[in-house]
Amino acid sequence: MQDFSYVAAKTVPEAVALLDEKGEKARILAGGTDLIVQVREARRDVDLMIDVKSIPAVNVLDYNADTGLTLGAAVECYKIYAVDAICDAYPSLIDATTIIGGTAIQGRAGVGGNLCNASPAADGIPPLIVLNATCVIAGPNGERELPVEQFCTAPGQTALEKGEMLVSLKVPAPASNSSSFYLRFIPRNEMDIAVVGAGASVTLDDAKQTIVSARIALAAVAPTPLFAEEASALLAGREISDAAIDEAAQAAQAIARPISDMRGTAEQRTHLVGVLTRRALNGAIQRVQDAS
Amino acid sequence: MAEKKEYKVIGTRPIRHDGVDKVTGRALYGADFQMTGLLHGRVLRSPHAHARIISIDTSRAEAYPGVKGVVTAKDLPDAGDKVADLGEGAVNLKHLCDNILASDKVLYKGHAVAAVAATSPHIAEEACTLIDVEYEVLPPVLEVRQAMEADAPLLHEHLKTTSMGETADEPSNVASHIQHKLGDPEKGFAEADIVVERDFVTGTVHQGYIEPHNATAHFNQDGQLTIWCSTQGAFTVREQVAEILQYPISKIKVVPMEIGGGFGGKISVYIKPVAALLAKKTGKPVKVLMSRADVFEGTGPTPASYIRVKMGATKDGKITAAEAYLAFEAGAYPGAPVGPGAMCIFAPYSIENVVIDGYDVVVNKPKTAPYRAPGAPNAAFGSESVVDEIAEKLDIDPLEIRLLNAAKEGDRRADGPIHPRIGCIETLEATKAHPHYTAPNGKKHHGRGVASGYWFNIGLESSVTINVNSDGTINLIEGSTDIGGTRASIAMQAAEVLGIPAESVNPSVVDTNSVGYTAVTGGSRTTYATGYAAYEAAQEVKRKMIARAAKLWEVNEANVQFADGEFSCINGKEEQISFRDLCAQLGQTGGPIVGSGTVNPGGAGGAYATHVVDVVVDEETGKVEILRYTAVQDAGRAIHPSYVEGQIQGGAVQGIGWALNEEYIYNAEGTMTNASFLDYRMPTCLDLPMIDAVIVEVPNPGHPYGVRGVGEVPIVPPMAAIANAIYDAIGVRMTELPMSPDRLLKAMGKI
Amino acid sequence: MARKSHVQTTINGETVEFLCESRQSLLEVLRDELHLTGAKEGCNNGNCGACSVILDGRLVNSCLVLGVETEGKSVETIEGLAEPDKLHPIQDAFLENAALQCGICTPGFIMSAKALLDSNPNPTEHEIRYWLAGNLCRCTGYDKIVKAVLDVAKASA
């Protein structure tokens, strides 16, 4: 493993200044479950790791039924699913945080790090997309916000500019009659990377028979996680039916441009987009309908 | 011998002797070894699957701060074409050496080409990147049928096919061809009412032991070489290192540390000679550890194979003829276990007319190594799938057709040997009687499958010494690495002889200077053969103790009997003394007592297993879930039933992994793209139900307590059992392993 | 040569100081610097769980923690589990159930099981299998491991 320096930053400005000074060879260390492996396997060249876990702003975990969730970028998965109100409000986020790695990984890894790692197969990203999350980014010129679906730009690449870091994620409070669902396909039952992941959120009318709006997101079928915008849009105003869900699934399949690799073939992935999109939508709808 | 007896120790479940050390983290495994002044070694491996080495320049690495020595194949003695006999048949020494450090060619991605010793593992790793190797890249051949084609790229310019004693003129990737024939197969097929013939393909799989290979070596100034390592056999390490380094065995001591799994994969040496070379060069102890990727890419997996099976039967289910074609990938150097595959393939059946052809073929993958019943699982996937299909087509219950044709004592196996007393029928009967087999199984996409398996087991040499303590306990010295509870199962056999509790035995696994020759922990031989040696050693102790009692009582030895831990005088005197009390009097009666036992038994006795599995198939994703699993097996006599069950459960689960997801995935250049536990996908506990292990006991007449080896046969049936269950669930015959979701989707026509 | 940092941490209740390079993982520090070799390296990338330890009360893979990150933290390893004259109930259950064969994965499984039972003293079989999925065992087929953990749970119920 290459040699590098380590700094435990105390404030966001301190971390930003270090990032700005060192450039690309400085990396934020949060859970480290991707970064440490990448450096160890010489897949990333790093001179400096900036540990942000003692910065209060990146450790915020605050949920309010009116204003929504503020999720610090370094908050570990296990802290997220330990909060009942968050589990109730954002079930797709819980679906994802309980399947990222094993329990030991969930003790270190967080959704913010999952996003910054920018893997096309990240389980944490489709839920953020379907939940309409916004990234709060700090940089040398202050803070800015970015819709989460615009954050990843290529495998391992993000919209972060030189000197910028992800501070937190803001997730709006869920609308009434809404819920969300995330699932992935893996050959085993745990510890695998998604062959395909699909997330969906739906808002139904008061009768819970018509879809007011929906959002669908996919993982592992393109260079970045995808917001399936057209597939989502065509569900708006539709009565719940197999036909409507099939249409959305087909629209999702249409935007998938998967590769074949050791985790799955392109044909398998395209097929699974259809299966998983249907299951994610049905799962989200079921959750709304099951809620009293 | 070996009739049903009541035992005091055998068949009980004592706490294993090494247990506390292993649950407290105290037990020292190979990588845990520490020594003052230790250097750390790392191996540079080939990035190409097939290439000629033009040059290696180590100067930049040698100049790197912290580096103390660099070695390449030039540091190995010239092997020439010497053939070494390492106890498991002749091995071409050049092949053996070239697999340690490549000399002229690299034959697989991950092939070792150089190694560095430095003051820290990180420095050694950095220095490896500073070794400049110039390669002439050659086209790789990665699949057995392609490698057999006449115009395939050749791995070895001098390798010529040996076929039943004859050597071909032209070089080939086919190292050897074997054939076994019994009866008149043509006639047998003519008598059949139904003939089923199918092709099967199995992927390359790894043993997947959790502990990577490791070795620490030190050369003393007097030339004594000591190697501390995890190995299945300290003596075979000594032999291999002696051959590779051309160094006398008397100057090599191998200290077996605790071992973190092997399954056959820790018999061959890889980094042990490298650690020795680095130690020699630096004058310091050197510890070499493999990474997980090194283990996948640089150590022996078990072969991928292409198999064709044809079987014929009359309409009432009698199998009249069987034919098999087995082509196994040896990896980079000859030595695929096609022989054992051929020995086992039809062994669960009594068939009069059989022909089996086997081919050992080199390809640009790591040299294969044994893996739990090597060769037999590949073969059984084919034969047990075909038997299932015949049963289905004849509308006969799959267990009934197996019972109808079951192998029994006196039958001849196709490769020659005649079965001694075996438990094939008893195992099938026990399976039939198990509630799992009769439980309802009618749900949509649910299926049930069965399959049987055979493994012949081996004997080989073992030595045990027993030192008697004055407090009535014994110290038992053995040379068999304890890979899964054999300290206990061996100690229990000595305890049974001496009428003492298992806890009164202190077993120690010692180095090659401290015990007689002992072959590897492998071939399901340890509880059988080393247990046999312990029995013999304990018998010697018993005889000597009887002599002491006779001396004490001033009677003839013939008048002393030993039963239930008590010596007593028969014919006359009313004398009695316990084993324990007599131990306290050894000093006064002639001094310490040492018993020794050495064996090379020939009656290992084959083992049979039949498995039943229930699956559910997700038709939309192609994923198979194992819902229920029952594994029935003849253990001869279960010495420690918990560890027998453990072997059965562990073997079955390795088979489940092999069946469903495990495989080496290669790109066109011959790079394994899934060389990690993340993507190699061995089963986790969330992928499995409880595994119901059912022990059948048909005592082996070749062992004083009736022991049969139990470790290997449980990996033989699972692949076919699961394939048969998938067929039952969705009506699709899977003929390629692993039966991964994408293959199922394809077979179902979904993609 | 890489510079070393001074780190002070608590390991199994004792204050420990060590020097380490930034690139050294907690696993390397435990094994190579402190000679606590109970945590094992099986994969060095978080996929086998053989290096599992408890860091500030939470189960982690020590191969995915840097040694320098443990400044001021508390680490529990397998070596700290038993009392001088008594094994931890999980250790006893592993022995009684024959839940180990080669034993290389055992320290990781025991630490993982401890973390589970500390937070959920009465887990179902499925909860145990889910929690332990990050720990690979290649010998046992997991059957007896799961039964051992179930036994401990039953005894505490």
**Is the bond preceding C107 in cis, omega lying within 30 degrees of 0?**
no
Radius of gyration, CA atoms only, chain B: 27
Better-predicted residue by pLDDT, C2 or C130: C130
- C-alpha separations of B288 from B117, B165, B216, B273 in Å: 8, 41, 6, 10
Tokens 């400044």, located at residue: C71
pLDDT of residue B87: 44
Say how many domains are in chain A: 3
Check whether A257 has a pLDDT greater than 80: yes
Higher pLDDT, B129 or B3: B129
Here the CATH number for the domain that contains residue A15 is: 3.30.43
Domain enclosing residue A21, as ranges: 5-51
Inter-chain CB proximity A103 and C5 less than 8 Å: no
Residue with tokens 């006795």: B605
Which tokens sit at C46?
A: 């978080």
The end-to-end CA distance of chain A, in Å, is 54
Q: Which of C57, C80, C103 is the last residue of a domain?
A: C80
Q: Which of B629, B610, B620, B643 is nearest to B711 (CA)?
A: B643
Q: Are residues A163 and A114 part of one domain?
A: yes
C61 touches chain B (CB under 8 A): no
Half-sphere exposure of B88 (CA within 13 A, CB side): 21
Both C47 and C112 in a single domain?
no
A111 close to A209: Cβ distance less than 8 angstroms:
no
So what's the pLDDT on residue C1? 60
C110 and C149 inside one domain: yes
Q: Same structural domain for residues C39 and C12?
A: yes
Domain co-membership, A66 together with A164:
yes
CB spacing of C60 vs A104 below 8 angstroms? yes
For residue C132, give how far its alpha carbon lies from the nearest alpha carbon of chain B (Å).
7
Contacts of C23 in chain A (CB under 8 A): 1-4, 39
**Three-class secondary structure of residue B703 per DSSP:** coil
Give the distance, in angstroms, between the CA of residue B426 and the centroid of all CA atoms in the same chain: 25
Q: How far is B747 from chain A (nearest CA, A)?
A: 12
What chain B residue is nearest to A273 in terms of C-alpha separation?
Answer: B621
Residue pair B328/B359 in contact by the 8 Å Cβ criterion: yes
Angstroms from A189 CA to nearest CA on chain B: 6
Question: Where among A171, A190, A208 does a domain terminate?
Answer: A171
Contact between B24 and C104 using a beta-carbon 8 Å cutoff? no
Q: Please, what is the average pLDDT of chain B?
A: 96
DSSP-derived pairing of the beta strands B225-229 and B474-478: unpaired
Tokens 């890979």 belong to B483
* Ramachandran class of B136: left when φ > 0, alpha when ψ lies in -120 to 50, beta otherwise: beta
Last residue of a domain, one of C39, C56, C80: C80
Mean pLDDT value across residues B668-683: 98
Evaluate whether ipTM surpasses 0.90: yes
Distances, alpha carbon B433 to alpha carbons A156, B438, B601, B649, B689, in Å:
57, 8, 34, 20, 21
Instruction: Read off the pLDDT band of B571 (50, 70, 90).
Output: confident
In angstroms, what separates the C-alpha of A42 from chain C's closest C-alpha? 12
Q: How distant is the alpha carbon of residue C128 from its chain centre?
A: 16
Q: Return the CATH number at C141.
A: 1.10.150.120
- In this prediction, residues A253-261 reach a mean pLDDT of 97
Q: Is B207 an interface residue toward C (CB < 8 Å)?
A: yes
Task: Tell me the backbone φ, ψ of residue A160, rounded to 5 degrees.
Answer: -65, 130
B213 burial (CB, 10 Å; 0-12 / 13-18 / 19+) is: buried
CB atoms within 10 A of CB B580: 17
List of residues 6+ apart from B520 with CB closer than 8 A: B232, B233, B235, B236, B267, B460, B481
- pLDDT value at position B88? 45
Say yes or no: C96 and C62 in one domain: no
Q: Region B128-133: what's the mean pLDDT?
A: 98
Together in a domain, A108 and A29? no
> DSSP letter string over B281-309?
HHSS-EEEE--HHHHHHHS--BPPEEEEE
Q: Please spell the DSSP secondary structure of B458-476, one letter per residue.
A: ----EEEEEEE-TTS-EEE
φ, ψ of residue B126 to 5 degrees: the values are -65, -40
- Copy the structure tokens of residue B464: 């045990």
Same domain membership, residue C102 and residue C65: no
> What CATH number does the domain containing C11 carry?
3.10.20.30
Q: Which domain holds residue C21?
A: 4-80
Cβ-contact B209, B260 below 8 angstroms: yes
Residue C79: alpha-carbon gap to chain centroid = 9
Residues of chain A with a CB closer than 8 angstroms to some CB in chain C: 1-6, 8, 29, 31-33, 36-37, 39-41, 49, 51, 53, 76, 78, 101-105, 107-108, 189-191
Domain edge (last residue) among A171, A199, A227 = A171
In eight-state DSSP terms, residue B163 is: E
Which residues neighbour A32 within 8 Å (Cβ) at sequence distance 6 or greater?
Answer: A108, A113, C64, C65, C66, C69
B663-691 as b/e, with b when 16 or more CB fall inside 10 Å? bbbbeeebbbebbbbbbbbbbbbbbbbbb
Q: What percent of chain B has pLDDT over 90?
A: 96
- Residue to test with chain C: of A41, A103, A106, most C Cβ within 10 A: A103
Q: Are C134 and A103 in contact (CB < 8 Å)?
A: yes
CA distance linking residue A136 with residue A131, whole number of Å: 15
Confidence bin at C156 (pLDDT 50/70/90): confident
pLDDT at B81: 56
A56: CB partners within 8 A, 6+ apart: none
Q: Do B745 and A1 touch (CB under 8 A)?
A: no
Share of chain C above pLDDT 70, in %: 99
pLDDT score of B370 more than 70: yes
Instruction: Tell the burial category of B184 from Cβ atoms under 10 Å away from its Cβ (0-12, 13-18, 19+).
Output: middle
Among residues of chain A, what percentage have pLDDT more than 70?
Answer: 100
Neighbours of A160 (CB within 10 A): 20
CATH assignment of the domain containing A220? 3.30.390.50
Chain C CA closest to residue B678: C47
Choose among B169, B149, B151, B148: nearest CA to B160: B169
The domain boundary, picked from C45, C80, C115, lies at: C80
Tell me which chain C residue has its CA closest to the CA of residue B28. C37
Per residue in C88-134, pLDDT (tens digit) is 999 999 999 999 999 999 999 999 999 999 999 999 999 999 999 99
Q: Which of A129, A123, A118, A119 is nearest to A106 (CA)?
A: A123
Partner residue opposite A105 with nearest CB, options C46, C66, C71: C46
The alpha-carbon radius of gyration of chain A (Å, integer) is 19
Please check whether residues A63 and A161 belong to one and the same domain.
Answer: yes
- In tens, the pLDDT along B659-672 reads 999 999 999 999 99
Q: Is the pLDDT of residue B2 over 80?
A: no
How many Cβ atoms sit within 10 Å of the Cβ of residue B594? Answer: 15
The reply to whether A196 and A235 lie within a common domain is yes
Q: Does the pLDDT value for residue A258 go beyond 90? A: yes
Interhelix angle for B234-245 vs B93-100, to 10°?
A: 100
Look at residue B354 in the predicted model and tell me its pLDDT. 98
Complete DSSP assignment for chain A: ----EEEE-SSHHHHHHHHHHHGGGEEEESS-TTHHHHHHTTSS--SEEEE-TT-GGGG-EEEETTTEEEEETT-BHHHHTT-HHHHHH-HHHHHHHTTSS-HHHHTT-BHHHHHHHT-TT-SSHHHHHHTT-EEEEEETTEEEEEEGGGTEEETTEESPPTT-EEEEEEEPPPPTTEEEEEEEE-SSSSSPPPSEEEEEEEEE-TTSSBEEEEEEEEESSSSS-EE-HHHHHTTTTPBP-HHHHHHHHHHHHHH-----BTTB-HHHHHHHHHHHHHHHHHHHHHHHHH--
Say yes or no: C102 and C75 in one domain: no
Q: Residue A89: which CATH number?
A: 3.30.465.10
Q: How far is CA C29 from CA A7, A127, B369, C110, in A?
A: 18, 37, 34, 20
* Confidence (pLDDT) at B710: 98
Closest CA to C76 of C42, C26, C120: C26
Domain count, chain C: 2
Amino acid identity, position B366: P
Q: How far is B155 from chain A (nearest CA, A)?
A: 26
What was the pLDDT predicted at B572?
77
Domain-terminating residue out of A150, A171, A192? A171
3-state SS class at B412: strand
What is the mean predicted confidence (pLDDT) over B485-491?
A: 98
**Closest chain B C-alpha to C71 CA, distance in angstroms:** 22
* Span B71-100, pLDDT tens digits: 999 999 987 656 655 544 456 889 999 999
Phi/psi of residue C34, nearest 5 degrees:
-105, -5
Q: Do C71 and C19 fall into the same domain?
A: yes
- The end-to-end CA distance of chain B, in Å, is 60
B13, B22, B509: which to substitute to probe chain C, counting the most C Cβ within 10 Å? Answer: B22
Q: Give the residue among B466, B522, B14 at the shortest CA–CA distance from B259.
A: B522
C73/C103 same-domain check: no
Q: Tokens for A52?
A: 């942000």
pLDDT at position B437 is 98
Q: Identify the burial level of B325 via C-beta atoms within 10 angstroms of its C-beta, where 0-12 means exposed, 13-18 middle and 19 or more buried.
A: middle
Nearest to A81 by CA among A117, A110, A122, A39: A110
Tell me how many residue pairs between chain A and chain B have CB atoms under 8 A apart: 55
Report in angstroms the alpha-carbon separations of B97 from B83, B136, B242, B273, B444.
11, 21, 11, 9, 55
**Is the Cβ–Cβ distance between A231 and A238 less than 8 Å?**
no
Local structure of residue B409 (DSSP, 8 states):
T
Res. B5 pLDDT band, cuts 50 70 90: low
A282 and B CB contact within 8 Å: no
pLDDT at B226 over 50: yes
Tokens of A207: 């009768």
| Domains, chain B, ordered by start | 19-27+459-599 (3.30.365.10), 33-138+222-260+266-291 (3.90.1170.50), 305-457+605-747 (3.30.365.10)
